[in-house]
């Protein structure tokens, strides 16, 4: 009998390991979806916002990744209240600064200060309806 119990526990252990692996895969898929949606939003912003360059999908995807990384660093240093993901005027201004700064890292992305402000506004509006945060 003890042998059967051990075999049954081993089966549960493997099932738990499989569940954790699936959660990890879902997390990766969630991040990929977030970046793809962010890239599409940046492409849309490029078409409707003056002072924001039109982007190809590859450039927009790179810009989405760079913007997320810069936002992560700002949030790690300054906390959630100073994050581009924060609500209110501070989050809006930080988001515009992050968008403006991303042009110095992403080739093909050109943004004026007004374009960054308008882009942050449009991205904020779109994010209300299609949240891109996976947390």
Q: What is the pLDDT of residues 97-119, one digit of tens each?
A: 999 999 999 999 999 999 999 98
Alpha carbon distance 51, 45 (integer Å): 10
Q: What percent of the chain has pLDDT over 90?
A: 27
What local confidence, expressed as pLDDT, does residue 25 receive? 60
Domain that holds residue 69: 2-129
Domain for residue 135, yes or no? no
pTM for this model (two decimals): 0.71
Indicate the number of domains in the chain: 1
pLDDT in tens, the chain (135 residues): 555 444 444 455 555 555 555 565 667 787 788 888 888 888 988 999 888 989 999 999 999 999 889 888 888 887 766 656 666 787 788 889 999 999 999 999 999 999 999 988 888 887 777 665 543
User: Encoding tokens for residue 115?
Assistant: 């374009």
Domain for residue 33, yes or no? yes
Domain for residue 134, yes or no? no
> Rounded to a whole number, what is the distance in angstroms from the first to the last CA of the chain?
44
Question: Interhelix angle for 57-78 vs 2-48, to 10°?
Answer: 110
């Amino acid at each position: 009998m003890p042998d059967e119990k051990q075999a049954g526990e081993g089966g549960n252990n493997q099932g738990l390991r499989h569940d954790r692996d699936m959660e990890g895969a879902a997390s990766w898929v969630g991040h990929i979806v977030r970046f793809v949606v962010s890239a599409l939003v940046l492409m849309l912003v490029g078409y409707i916002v003056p002072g924001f360059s039109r982007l190809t999908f590859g450039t927009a995807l790179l810009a989405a990744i760079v913007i997320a990384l810069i936002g992560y660093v700002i949030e790690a240093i300054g906390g959630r209240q100073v994050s581009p993901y924060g609500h209110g005027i501070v989050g809006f201004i930080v988001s515009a600064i992050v968008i403006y700064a991303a042009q110095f890292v992403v080739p093909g992305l050109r943004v004026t200060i007004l374009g960054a402000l308008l882009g942050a506004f449009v991205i904020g509006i779109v994010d209300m309806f299609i949240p891109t945060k996976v947390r």
